[in-house]
Amino acid sequence: MDVLDLARLQFGVTAGLHFLFVVLTLGLAPVVAVMNTRWVRTGDPLQERMTRFWGQIYIVNYALGIVTGLVMEFQFGLSWSGLTHYAGDVFGAPLAVETMVAFFLESTFLGLWIFGWHRLPRRAHLACIWIVTLTAYASAFWIMVANSFLQNPAGAAVTGDRLALTDAGALLTNKALVFSFPHVIGAGLTTGAFVVIGASAYRLWRHPGEDRELFTRSLRTGVVLAVHGVPIAVAFGFAQFATVPEGKFDGAAASTGLGVMILIGEALLMATLLFLLPLIKVLPHWRWTHPLLMALTPLPFAAAILGWIAREMGRYPWMIRDRLTVADALSPGLTPGMITASLAGFTTVLTLLAVIDYALIAKIVRRGAAAPALGAPPEPDEPPAGRPALTLGR
């Protein structure tokens, strides 16, 4: 493989593995926020335990996803300086906003939510997780603004040898954005829903006597979320065909990825609407269905990756359609050895993070919700050694 193909492979691997974390984060954030809201409104201890249990899984995935995002930044700087030079003033602006949203707002309020249990007033604590959720979707919006600019460079004009932003409104209402962003939202909701369904089914199948009510409610919550997420993902996925340039999916690889993605999306839609929803009340009690539900868990991840591949490969040979080729966007002076070494390093790190993410989430699920570490009540202070604790009265 030459330098260009190796650099493309590096980008595909790093972006694809990073997206696995992102799509689950987008799906689990509203789940945790809704459960937290139910607890604050009703005071139901079961809702508190559900919030703490699923919140742990969300935090693990979020934390490791941040690290994969840093790897993405490294490969951008290493391999694609031509893109930065030519379109950095336009393409870099939404990425900069996303960084400020994600790292300053989202991370700050997530920290307040994690460490604010039993310290912040309940409603203030609840507001933190909703801000985390909204900023997560704001981050996704700005990422899709940047990506949609590559698909259709709206709102920019050539000034000298570079692109300059001429119309911010056109950038934010890009025809490549208006359907793709809701599609990503639907994909995230679908992924989060099927993870909740699969994990709950596992607990009900392997440990039917432990926390049955908690995982019964969780499974039903996942089904309701899937009923909303799958149609959004599929509908806006098909709607994007009205905005793609002619011939985008002529390539064999892109068309194959697109076809498989559509089949998976349709299968998820059929499974959700024809099987899960009508049986929502009895699914937790029908143990024979639980292995089936567990087997559905990887499908949204596969559909998301295949959809991303189809979207990105359909643009080749352009980095910015009709403006900058992938070859011209490549950093000068790179050698096959340099790219191979960085590809191996990035792939190893990201794969390791993905394995750790799965292992930690699986450990939380296997352990169950008996005593979630997140939000555990603080232990009473121990009296100094050799001195009795102070008591009031007899």
CA angle (316, 180, 185) in 5-degree steps: 130
pLDDT value at position 147?
94
pLDDT tens, the chain, 394 aa long: 889 999 999 999 999 999 999 999 999 999 999 999 999 999 999 999 999 999 999 999 999 998 888 888 888 778 899 999 999 989 988 998 998 887 789 999 999 999 999 999 999 999 999 999 999 999 999 999 999 999 999 999 998 889 999 999 999 999 999 999 999 999 999 999 999 999 999 999 998 888 999 999 999 999 999 999 999 998 898 888 887 776 666 665 666 667 687 778 777 777 887 888 888 889 888 899 999 999 999 989 988 888 888 888 878 889 999 999 999 999 998 899 999 999 999 999 999 999 999 999 999 999 998 888 888 887 765 454 555 544 444 3
Hey, what amino acid is at 93?
A
Question: Are 14 and 75 a contacting pair, CB within 8 Å?
Answer: yes
Q: Of 213, 204, 147, 194, which is closest to residue 174 (Cα–Cα)?
A: 147
Cut 0.85: pTM above it: yes
How far is residue 303's CA from residue 188's CA, in Å, rounded to a whole number? 11
Question: Are 319 and 328 a contacting pair, CB within 8 Å?
Answer: yes
Whole-angstrom CA distances from 194 to 220, 268, 292, 337 are 11, 10, 11, 41
CA angle (118, 121, 123) in 5-degree steps: 120
pLDDT value at position 393?
40
Cis peptide before 317 (omega within 30 of 0): yes
How far is residue 165's CA from residue 91's CA, in Å, rounded to a whole number? 9
